[in-house]
Structure 1
Amino acid sequence: MEIGSSVVFTIPLFGGIPITETIVVEWIIMAVLILGAAVVTKGWKLVPEGAQNVVELMVEGFNKFVEGALGEHWRDYAPYLGTVAAFLILANTISIFGLTPPTKDISTTSALAIMSITTVIIASIRARGLKGYVKHFFKSPINLFINVLDLFTRPLSLAARLFGNIFAAVTIMELIERAVPIVVPAVFSLYFDLFDGLLQMLVFVFLTMLYIEEGIE
């Protein structure tokens, strides 16, 4: 099992731009999400019915979950959190369809972590103002140390936790498939490919939401 991602092809520009398997799978996931959103929302009516009912219930439930943590600020951050959740649902469980999860690549989880921490910083600045955000670093020498340390440890924790769990799940499934190639892998796949993937999505989104909540208090 390789930690990195193999190069699928190279774009002949600027001396060659390597396109890895991780990037290709991410493109597939983004295409599925965009097309899925276009198909599901096509022809929506004022009075929901059928698939529209299901989608609206899911969105409403997620919005209430975010509102419970962020209060009146939920509208500003629910779209980002929902988009990350939708991406991670597919990214973490796509091995069910025979593709390698992009979250098995540390570069993907690092990018997601940096995006989330940037959102946290922006949320804090919006809530406190730039002066208030800078001021909270200097309440005391220990506060300065802890707050600066948080800027590095939080994204590192988000990235490493997601990467480590997905990488471990994929590795274990490959070992099981090699040892017992019939029937048994399908049973374990329910946990390692599906349940664990959904669980890691919830953990990542919940921690991001928790950090935003702390930032806007």
Structure 2
Amino acid sequence: MNALTAALKEELNVEMISLGGLQVPESVVVSWGIMLFLVIVSILLTRNLKVDHISRRQAILELVVTTIDNFFMGLLGEQGRRYVPYLMTVALYIACANLIGVFGIKPPTKDLNVTAALALMSICLIEYSGIHARGGKGFLKSLTAPTPIMTPMNILEIAIRPTSLCMRLFGNVLGAFVIMELIKLVVPVFVPAVFSLYFDLFDGLIQTYVFVFLTSLFMKESIGGEE
């Protein structure tokens, strides 16, 4: 168990990288790399798009984008269309952040600061969507629903949501690491490689889905109001 404790401490430790004399957290540097990667891939995939004579690349790209767009529109409805690009962007980032561990790079989602920032951005958008859809008075009125006595609980819920999103993402990513370390202690050969593939690939995608799904669900509730 001492080996597990040491590995866990090392995993939780946020290393600093020196860039031109400036100390930058490793998770931030890796996030910059992910953003650069996504920008380059986006540019390459969207070059020479045509209305007619659609290439196979464009057809696949349109199918993927349409499928994801329909997924979010099914959750949010027409009122939530303006927020779909943000949700797609967050999904791409979290997916890349979780999958990057396959290449031996420490996922930035293992840094609590990163998951907290993602949760904070999502909760700000959730509350903004409610204010935008119902107006300031409608939003304040929703805090007293269904009865004024519930106002403190409704306000507390606003604070609980980002905490829930943050700890769920961080806890699941860290939990996968703990399970892998335990498996390595019990069965040191072959089996860990199989489970590593599962946690690095499938579990990372599942956590991406859960995060954006809950964000969309909270947003729909905020937009829906008293319907």
Which residue does 1:4 correspond to in 2? 13
Aligned residues between the structures: 213
Amino acid at match of 2:173: I
CA distance in 2, matches of 1:177, 1:98: 16
Which residue does 1:27 correspond to in 2? 32
CA distance in 1, matches of 2:179, 2:100: 16
CA distance in 2, matches of 1:103, 1:78: 22
Pick aligned residue for 1:38 from 36, 43, 49: 43
Which residue does 1:161 correspond to in 2? 168
Unaligned runs of 5+ in 1: none
**Structure 1 residue 135: deviation in Å?**
2.1
Pick aligned residue for 2:120 from 114, 123, 128: 114
**Which moves more between the two structures, 152-161 or 42-51?**
42-51
| Correspondences of 1:1-217 after superposition (within 5 Å) | 1-2=8-9, 3-9=12-18, 12=21, 17-47=22-52, 48-139=54-145, 140-177=147-184, 182-217=189-224
TM-score by length of structure 1 reads 0.91
Spell out, residue by residue over 1:37-76, the C-alpha distance to the aligned partner (whole angstroms, 9 max, x if none): 0111111111332221111111100111111111112321
Q: Is the 8 Å Cα contact of residues 80 and 220 (structure 2) preserved in structure 1?
A: no
Unaligned runs of 5+ in 2: 1-7
Spell out, residue by residue over 1:102-143, the C-alpha distance to the aligned partner (whole angstroms, 9 max, x if none): 111110000000000000011001110012111222343432
CA distance in 2, matches of 1:34, 1:170: 29
Q: Is the 8 Å Cα contact of residues 63 and 74 (structure 1) preserved in structure 2?
A: no
Q: Percent identity?
A: 45
CA distance in 2, matches of 1:87, 1:102: 10
CA distance in 2, matches of 1:191, 1:93: 11
CA distance in 2, matches of 1:36, 1:181: 37
Amino acid at match of 2:16: V
